[in-house]
Structure 1
Amino acid sequence: MRPIRLVLPVTALLLCALAAPAAAAAPTASGDWTAAPASGGGTRPSSDGRPYFYLEGPPGTVLQDTVSLSNPSGAPLTLRLRGAAAYNATDGGFAVRRTPDPWIALAAPEVKIPPHTRADVPFAVTVPPGAQPGDHPAALVAEAGGREVGVRLQLRVSGPTLSALTVESLRVDKAHGLIRYALVNRGNTTLAPRLALRVDGVFGRALDRPAKALPVELLPGQRVELSEPWAHPPALDRVTVRLDVTADGGAHATAGTSAAFVPWGAVAGAALVVLGGAAAALRLVRRRRRRAGEPVEMPLPERELAQTGARQ
């Protein structure tokens, strides 16, 4: 599925359309329309500028919020809306499903906004009675003219939470100068993992990177493929690679693997030199024996020919 660029998380239901002030800016392209959480909504109300929607409640409840859609252009705008569950793309990016999320109900799936106008659209999230506790990330997606904008919705179902992860498929990719691995979120909360990397070899420590935040938000139940660059590995060594990954809530995982670095080109060249030297030494020994009158072993056909000539 094609990931959709998400500006912010969202959930909404249609409320009203408000005319813009008379001193509005000059008309702009219709692609300048925006979607954002309306002020004062959600489970944790706040002033303007909410970065995303946050809703929390127990199973069986209905939660409500509002999304604001602005049309600063001088032409009417029609926006199509849908709620969608979120997931991690293979590389860790935040993406949303193409199919509507059945938990999210919009007041209107399509909204017509006059020029220089903002429309506030309410929406509701119905948490099923049997919903599992923890985070259920989603987004409210607005689309017009081939452009899609997603506003993130952080939904948490009340109940026990567990932060847990594992590191899998750790390997050294020598051809591309990378250390590859996979992270899997085994808990029910969204994780912001931190990674520490260490590589020890026979000749000492080859790499030591302290813990750093990874550019990924790992959603519950998701697996992502990641890598760390290793531009200058040793030419000759056997190393042990160790990854330590941590996240808030006590999540911690480690993994290790080993790899051997051998300069096969140089080894092959040295072997050819040794073989060439051995062959030259053998030829030299044979020449010296001939000069000293020592018998030189000949192939069988030549021996037989020499014996025949002696009888004659």
Structure 2
Amino acid sequence: MPFRTRAAVSGAVLATAAALLCPAAAAAAPAETGWSAAPAPGDGAGPGAQHRPYFYLEGAPGTVMNDRLSLSNPTGRAVTVRLHSSDSGAWMALAAKEVKVPPRTRASVPFTVTVPRDAAPGGHPGALIATSGGKGGGRAAVPVHLRVTGPTLSALTVENVSVRGQGDAAVIRYTLVNRGNTVLTPRLTVRADGVFGPVLRRAARTLPLALRPGQGVDLTEKWPDPPGLDVVDLRLTVTARGGAHGSASASYAAVPWGATAGAALALAAGAGGL
């Protein structure tokens, strides 16, 4: 996913000077020092609009969305809070990077989310992080669930398959490339057939990786007991959610080292007798 860092937008940080007569909402992420951070109450009268446990934003590539972070300080002293974003938060721009919240006051910090035009459809988690410095400082993280709308394409290819012997074993090398626009978790199946039948069967298993759109990774498979003398056709097949499917093959000629050395000596002897 190509993230684009944006400069902070201009805009005033809104502070509510009224005393906080009740504790902060349960949706808030409290810091150890008493202040808390949470999504600002949304529009509407329902409890879901007033107390949001996290931000949820949805839009197509190229969309610009706005929301507000609420910082509550019920204590008797002012608190300076620093703000930044993480993960898909690289698409976020805060109106302020540092906010001083007076005692018994709530500050509202606007921010925007700009979805890149080449953003892949699907979920993109992020967070707004608030920290207060000094002795006894605290930290709070407010999740941001961003969903990019649009059609998804799942496509996966296997490339550059090769087999190379290493002593009595062999190593299978290959490259996986995500050709679609959604994150994929591949499943790999390995099979190999020699002159006299099957020599390797590995059932489909999930690989411990998540391929981003356009990403390619070089991987290896250990083959501890390949045939000592055979000509093998190897095939790798990968699948992933959404119908992604790819396969590729390679040939492997297994010849014992002794036979190779003997043939070389015989050729050398024949050449010497000429």
Which residue, 194, 202, 218 being the options, matches 2:195?
202
Deviations 1:193-238 (A, max 9, x none): 1111101111321110111111011111111112222111111111
Deviations 1:62-115 (A, max 9, x none): 1658799xxxxxxx9987734456xxxxxxxxxxxxxx83x2123554689xxx
Deviations 1:159-201 (A, max 9, x none): 2211111111111132373211111111111111111110111
After the TM superposition, which of the residue ranges 131-140 and 217-226 deviates more from structure 2? 131-140
* Residue 60 (structure 1) aligns with: 63
Question: Could you say what secondary structure the match of 1:265 adopts?
Answer: helix
Q: Pairwise mapping of residues 206-285 of structure 1 onto structure 2 (< 5 A)?
A: 206-269=199-262, 272=265
The answer (yes or no) to whether the contact 2:191–2:236 under 8 Å persists in 1 is yes
Letter in 1 for 2:121: G
* Residue 164 (structure 1) aligns with: 155
* Residue 184 (structure 2) aligns with: 191
Deviations 1:257-300 (A, max 9, x none): 11111113343247658999xxxxxxxxxxxxxxxxxxxxxxxx
CA distance in 2, matches of 1:19, 1:270: 76
Question: Could you say what secondary structure the match of 1:216 adopts?
Answer: coil
* Deviation, structure 1 residue 134: 1.6
Question: Could you say what secondary structure the match of 2:159 adopts?
Answer: strand
Identical aligned residues as a percent: 48
* Deviation, structure 1 residue 123: 5.4
1:134 aligns with 2:154: no
After superposition, the CA RMSD in angstroms is 4.9
* Deviation, structure 1 residue 253: 0.8
Letter in 1 for 2:84: L
The answer (yes or no) to whether the contact 1:14–1:123 under 8 Å persists in 2 is no
- Unaligned 5+ segments in structure 2 are 1-12, 16-27, 43-48, 72-78, 101-107, 132-140, 270-274
CA distance in 2, matches of 1:143, 1:19: 9
Letter in 2 for 1:179: I
CA distance in 1, matches of 2:130, 2:29: 18
For normalisation by structure 2, the TM-score amounts to 0.57
Question: Could you say what secondary structure the match of 2:260 adopts?
Answer: helix
Tell me how many residue pairs correspond in the alignment.
213
Change (3 A) 1:240 1:83: same
The answer (yes or no) to whether the contact 2:189–2:237 under 8 Å persists in 1 is yes
CA distance in 1, matches of 2:235, 2:178: 19
CA distance in 1, matches of 2:143, 2:216: 20
For normalisation by structure 1, the TM-score amounts to 0.51
Change (3 A) 1:275 1:246: closer
Structure with the bigger percentage of helix: 1
- Unaligned 5+ segments in structure 1 are 1-12, 23-36, 69-75, 86-99, 113-119, 145-149, 277-312
CA distance in 2, matches of 1:82, 1:233: 50
* Residue 8 (structure 1) aligns with: none
Letter in 1 for 2:157: T
Which residue, 88, 91, 105 being the options, matches 2:93?
105
The answer (yes or no) to whether the contact 2:128–2:144 under 8 Å persists in 1 is no
* Residue 306 (structure 1) aligns with: none
The answer (yes or no) to whether the contact 1:133–1:160 under 8 Å persists in 2 is no
Change (3 A) 1:275 1:219: closer
CA distance in 2, matches of 1:174, 1:215: 25
Letter in 1 for 2:192: V
Rg: which structure is higher?
1
Change (3 A) 1:55 1:218: farther
Question: Could you say what secondary structure the match of 1:174 adopts?
Answer: strand
